[in-house]
Amino acid sequence: MEFWRIVSLLLTLLLLGSAASATLFTLQNHCAYMVWPGTLSGNGGAVLGEGGFSLAPGASVQLTAPPGWSGRFWARTGCNFHDSGNGKCITGDCGGLKCAGGGAPPVTLAEFTTGVSGTNNMDFYDVSLVDGYNVGMGVRASGGTGACQYAGCVADLNHSCPKELQVTDSGNVVACKSACAAFNTPEFCCTGGHSTPQTCSPTSYSEMFKRACPTAYSYAYDDASSTCTCTGSDYLITFCPTGS
């Protein structure tokens, strides 16, 4: 009898330990319009939120990721889905309501790798404009230890996007391309002879993104000021942090 009590206690402790090391993501929509968050898991990890769902203005949803999860979140806009889940989005499209892949650029991304071994189970996260911009995003850590910096792009880059980078729909700017997507040259894409941090420098376009959103990735090698770390945290991901 004592043996089974011990086994039961050990199982309980294991379950509690697993729950304690899981990560809670809260996604909230501060935009004045509907967004359709997309999720993509890396390395065959658990699919959160079935890959995608709708989120009305003012609404929020919570998703729990298992220990060691990595992946990304983004907002889709201008979507039209049938009851079957088939359909398309004007920005961030991923082939259906429940994404089977990443969002089509240009799209703002929130990227996470949690509980990295060899770093005292530290989380790494960022908000990236490397694939362009469609919706403002902010990531705030809560309950963790370490630097736990705020990451995000609060500015509305669609309003200040240069004409050569603009994506329009019905005359309205709905997204802002990266220079790589717009021009597809090695110096903008950090490829070929520009594929290292030493040979791929900021450009006037990435510097424009960086001035507007100093805590977001502006180009491929913008690590120093854009990668955030925290341990044992949950995360609040806000679309349109300023409510625009």
Q: For the chain, what is the mean pLDDT?
A: 90
Q: Measured between alpha carbons, how far is 138 from 228 in angstroms, rounded to an integer?
A: 12
What's the whole-model pTM score? 0.89
Tell me which residue of 74, 86, 122 sits closest to 232, measured CA to CA. 122
3-state secondary structure 52-106: ECCECCCCEEEEEECCCCEEEEEEEECCEECCCCCEECCECCCCCCCCCCCCCCC
Band (pLDDT 50/70/90 cuts) for residue 244 is: low
The domains of the chain are located at 17-239
Give the three-state DSSP class for 231: strand
Class of the CATH domain delimited by 17-239? mainly beta
Tens-digit pLDDT profile for residues 6-62: 334 333 334 434 334 799 999 999 999 999 999 999 978 899 999 999 999 999 999
